[in-house]
Chain A
Amino acid sequence: MAANAPALRVENLETHFFTKAGVVKAVDGVSFSVERAQILGLVGESGSGKSVTGFSILGLVDPPGRVVGGRILFDGQDIANAGEAQMQSLRGNRIATIFQDPMMTLNPVLRIETQMVETVLAHQEVNRETARKRARDALGQVGISSPDERLAAYPHQFSGGMRQRVAIAIALLNDPDLIIADEPTTALDVTIQAQILYEAQKLCRERGTAMIWITHDLAVVAGLADKVSVMYAGRIVEAGAIDQVLDHPVHPYTKGLIGSVPSRNKRGSPLYQIPGTTPALLNLAPGCAFRERCPRADPACLEEPGLSEPVPERAVRCFHPYAEAEA
């Protein structure tokens, strides 16, 4: 893989769910790219399509959902419509995943050792002893003490934070090129969250692993990601380098999101909230999906705004963006 070529480039990804009530366009023309040793934050509310985007890359969208369009270029190769055999050889091997709820991601009736060793054996031609040694080393790397004893334990013998460390260790086992982390710290308390973020960032830098960090929490990506894409109703509404987007948001939605983060400077004053709720994706009306909640909406917003040209990597989907100076 060339040094600057993106590890993953997603172009116009469309993942739709064909329900009895109609077609739900959960992901509707999403594009982004992430390079080696880079962390991309994919931010959005519940139902914005960020998790479905992650599962689309893994080829794990459950029926009635299906990737219907776009390209997913992993290492230069389009895997959007790759066969199950090919995806199976990529998953857990070159594209690893960390899930949201560590209490649910480990199989309760299998030992940690079984769950780790099988991940190695699924992809590498090594014997059980070597696989076990790798599992032990991976546990050590994520800061789990006495890994030998821990291998023999069952998930219920670990705390939530420790389980998430185990899940991260599993993700690291086969030294992946890309890690998709789907809200991995949401279920953890704040101190543990900080530790996990620190570990993730360190591992990503040290190993040159590309990472997509899916979250609803801007505060999490603020200290972690290099760049960020904000999703709303299945589309990316704003993208750019993390500092630029957070300091100078230009899309009204991003601005609203940042405005609604509690901060010390605004103590005592009521917290800002974006009026209304996220629209249902089933039979979404054409035009800007955010217009019902947008302070700047006007009749022009009945048309679908396009994503502006990235000036380097800065893009917005809005007819009336804020000027960067305004923010």
Chain B
Amino acid sequence: MSAFVIRRLLQSIAVVMVMSLIVFFGVNIVGDPVDMLINPEADQADIEAAIRALGLDRPAHEQYWYFLVNAFKGDLGSSFIFGQPALQLIVQRMPATLELAFSALFLSVLIGIPLGVYAGLRPDTLASKTIMSGSILGFSLPTFWVGLMMIMIFAVILGWLPSTGRGETVPLFGVPVSFLTLNGLSHLLMPAVNLALFKMSLVTRLARAGTREVVHQDYIKFARAKGLSSRRVVMVHVLKNIMIPVVTVIGLEFGGLIAFSVVTESVFAWPGMGKLIIESIQNLDRPVIVAYLMITVLMFVFINLVVDVLYSVLDPRVRLQDMRA
């Protein structure tokens, strides 16, 4: 197990290094931020001074080396626009995004798995068919459109829920969160559902497919032949087996939740990282873009590691293979 974790950590470092290279040079190709930043009426001397101040006069590989050295010190550069450290800007907005993403994840698992298991156990009922048709809608309707429709219905027409912002936040371990206040919760609900819809459909379909496959296995029939209640058969024997694919996909897709939150955050004016990155891309604020991408890479790598560890907890056969490897 520990050998496995160490091996994975080494792989992760390699991934992060390669990504830093791609991200840094990729962003350099996109465009020249100087044009956006400098007053059009400035003279040549001022422009050159600005370029030098930003370190943009050096060759690209020197800039990269400089970036790497600083990154190891925990400094990912300062925003061209805000003048603040990029890392600080992102970390300030990260709790909002993570709260949104986790809420969406929580909703998709909490609703998706029961729906999927039910549809898998009773595939021919009307309810199951409704669930499965619904999940197709969840897949295919664009997130932004659903978000706008939700605002229209619940905020504009019915006036039940607020359409923008995080609402009232309270600190939890020093991090501001919305879900602990009623007002914050009402702000969180719509964006979370909106973001969860796609994943919920995915989890439902996965859980259904898994259940359909597992219930026909001999070990389920054997479990019934042992005289276990159907509750125990489903909650233990079926559920633990279908959790393997579900956890894998949820883990891998959690990154997707953070990425998709760009859209949801824009629609609901949720003050998270997604909104920040959109603005930074528009302004060609290189340090913020690079810092955002690096943090996202780190997050993906970390999530994948957690998924692999969880996987071996859920499926004992994985553990054995790791010991052999």
Known interface pairs A99-B222, A109-B244; A92-B228 also in contact (CB < 8 Å): yes
Find chain B residues with CB under 8 A from A100 CB: 218
Known interface pairs A156-B316, A156-B320; A109-B224 also in contact (CB < 8 Å): no
Find chain A residues with CB under 8 A from B236 CB: 110, 114, 118
Query: Which residues of B are in contact with A by a Cβ distance under 8 Å?
Result: 217-219, 221-229, 232, 236-237, 240-241, 244, 314-317, 320
Closest to A170 in B: B226
Known interface pairs A88-B227, A104-B217, A170-B226; A118-B232 also in contact (CB < 8 Å): yes
Is A248 part of the contact surface with B, judged by Cβ < 8 Å?
no
Query: Which residues of A are in contact with B by a Cβ distance under 8 Å?
Result: 58, 60, 88-93, 96-97, 99-101, 104-111, 114, 118-119, 122-123, 154, 156-157, 167, 170
- 4 further A-B contacts with Cβ under 8 Å, apart from A105-B222, A108-B219, are A108-B316, A109-B244, A109-B316, A119-B226
Closest to A90 in B: B227
Q: How far is the CB of A181 from the nearest CB of chain B, in Å?
A: 12
Instruction: Tell me whether A88 and B222 are in contact (CB under 8 A).
Output: no
Instruction: Tell me whether A119 and B316 are in contact (CB under 8 A).
Output: no
Known interface pairs A107-B237, A110-B237; A91-B316 also in contact (CB < 8 Å): no
Q: How far is the CB of B239 from the nearest CB of chain A, in Å?
A: 10
Give the top 7 A-B pairs by smallest Cβ distance, nearest first.
A92-B227, A92-B226, A104-B218, A91-B227, A97-B225, A154-B316, A105-B222
Q: Which of B225, B315, B320 contacts A109 (CB 8 A)?
A: B315
Alpha-carbon gap, A108 to B237, bound state (A): 9
Closest to B238 in A: A107
Alpha-carbon gap, A109 to B312, bound state (A): 10
Instruction: Tell me whether B241 and A154 are in contact (CB under 8 A).
Output: no
Instruction: Tell me whether A93 and B227 are in contact (CB under 8 A).
Output: yes
Alpha-carbon gap, A20 to B155, bound state (A): 50
Most B C-beta atoms less than 10 A away, residue of A97, A104, A109: A109
Find chain B residues with CB under 8 A from A93 CB: 227
Find chain A residues with CB under 8 A from B315 CB: 108-109
Instruction: Tell me whether B225 and A92 are in contact (CB under 8 A).
Output: yes
Find chain A residues with CB under 8 A from B244 CB: 109
Find chain A residues with CB under 8 A from B221 CB: 60, 99
Known interface pairs A99-B218, A99-B221, A101-B218; A108-B226 also in contact (CB < 8 Å): no
Instruction: Tell me whether A91 and B222 are in contact (CB under 8 A).
Output: no
Alpha-carbon gap, A58 to B224, bound state (A): 10
Alpha-carbon gap, A96 to B226, bound state (A): 7
Alpha-carbon gap, A114 to B235, bound state (A): 14
Find chain A residues with CB under 8 A from B314 CB: 109
Instruction: Tell me whether B316 and A122 are in contact (CB under 8 A).
Output: no
Instruction: Tell me whether B226 and A122 are in contact (CB under 8 A).
Output: yes
Instruction: Tell me whether A122 and B232 are in contact (CB under 8 A).
Output: yes
Alpha-carbon gap, A97 to B316, bound state (A): 26
Q: How far is the CB of B42 from the nearest CB of chain A, in Å?
A: 67
Instruction: Tell me whether B241 and A109 are in contact (CB under 8 A).
Output: yes
Instruction: Tell me whether B228 and A122 are in contact (CB under 8 A).
Output: yes
Most B C-beta atoms less than 10 A away, residue of A90, A111, A122: A122
Known interface pairs A92-B227, A119-B227; A105-B240 also in contact (CB < 8 Å): no
Alpha-carbon gap, A110 to B237, bound state (A): 8
